[in-house]
Amino acid sequence: MGQMGTNGLGKLLRQVTGAGAELTGAPTPFKREFTGITGLDKYLSVLVAFFASLVDDGGAGWEVTAFYIWGMAQFAAGWTVLVLEGRRSGNRGRIVSWVGTAGIVFQNLTWTFIVPLYLALHLFTSPIAKLGGKDAKSRGDAARQSLFVYLWDLALIPLAVTLGLVVPTIVMSLPELLHQSAATHYNWIAFWQAFPLWTVLVLDILHNACYFLFGSLSPQDAQGKPTTPGNGFMVAVSGVYQFGLIISAVTQIPILAISLLPTPLRSTLAATFPKYASLISQITFARTFVPHSLSAPPTLDPSNYGPGDLAPLVINFLQYDLYTGNTTVLLWALYLHVTTSGRPFTKTLSTTIFWTLIGGPSAAAIALLWDRDELVKEGEDKVAIEAKTK
């Protein structure tokens, strides 16, 4: 954030959000009024200009597009984890259950700054972080009391994240393809900023509607038959974890594969498929995933810049933001797995490495939490129990 005061991006954003200036390459006119509240509109216009500098910079290379897709997928998977954590029974009534509020705060103060504070607060205040050090029966009982989530929430979290975050991300990123006017495009970027609020609202509304229309859900196994609460919970929560893993893996695997192509093969593919030559040549690991040094960030002259000059500055910011925040989520999940799952550390490490390669740090965190949640089946009666769960 400090770099924005010296690399030209901060000055440019101030110019664009002031009267008269436009953002080169972006749709015109630039919109500065969204709510009618002067202070809020000024702040929103800064955020809108920041993201427009990325999504509207037509001169940026394919490495920018690749990292943007990868980063947004990692972000969505990480956000899914936080939404799930806030809904667990052990966190109800605690500050860590306020994921919508936390989301609004980190959207304004960065993922890097707020997520470590949120997760540290979780470790100090949540009973979920204190499940280790018990015998299997006691640990299973404690896990069932603290890890459970309303079954309707588990069924609806993927849809809520899709509608509240994924869809707005896609819509704001494709203004030309969707034939958006300038005002519509900037409205969508502004709308996206409140994705934590939209996610929580969608989840609450759908939960209440489904409960009102269909009543509570009972634990069921993979074949749809009544089962114990622990087994039913694992069947239900698997949908949330699978959602996060799919988002992470389907974006990382192709992008990482292209970025790691050896030079001879890259040249051969570029020559064989000339239509995609620029994509193949530009998406390298160094260009896509390695940020500039903090002491030598990319810069621009706000009074003289052209296509391709804006996006690299925004991407460099997001690289540090996402790497720090998502690595924190992974370390948090790693700690919970080591201290509560009872698995050998070698299994924890192998799971972490495998899923980091397949889907990045967010996928590894999800895989560790999914395995940790198996605690809910420890010491549970194997006879199916009729249980009414909201």
- Does any domain span residue 387? no
Residue carrying the six token digits 């705060």: 105
Q: Note the pLDDT of residue 24.
A: 86
Residue carrying the six token digits 């101030």: 14
217: phi then psi, degrees, rounded to nearest 5: -100, 145
Q: Note the pLDDT of residue 108.
A: 78
Residue 303 to residue 289: CA distance in whole angstroms: 29
Number of domains in the chain: 1
- Does any domain span residue 366? yes
- Does any domain span residue 382? no
| Phi-psi sector, 337: left (phi>0), alpha (psi -120 to 50), beta | alpha
Three-state secondary structure call for residue 273: coil
Q: Note the pLDDT of residue 184.
A: 95
Q: What is the pTM of this model?
A: 0.93
Please name which of 283, 232, 240 lies closest in space to residue 386, comparing C-alpha atoms.
232
- Does any domain span residue 390? no
- Does any domain span residue 17? yes
Let me know if 75 is exposed, middle or buried by CB neighbors in 10 A (0-12, 13-18, 19+).
Answer: buried
Please name which of 5, 10, 72, 19 lies closest in space to residue 46, comparing C-alpha atoms.
10
- Does any domain span residue 125? yes
- Does any domain span residue 85? yes
- Does any domain span residue 388? no
Residue 117 to residue 329: CA distance in whole angstroms: 11
Q: Is the peptide bond before 307 cis (omega within 30 degrees of 0)?
A: no
Q: Note the pLDDT of residue 137.
A: 66
Please give the angle made by the CA atoms of 142, 328 and 234, to the nearest 5 degrees: 35
Spell out, as residue ranges, where the chain has pLDDT lower than 70: 133-137, 381-390
Residue 5 to residue 23: CA distance in whole angstroms: 18
CB 181 within 8 A of CB 27: yes
Structural domain span for residue 249: 2-377
How many residues can be counted in the chain?
Answer: 390
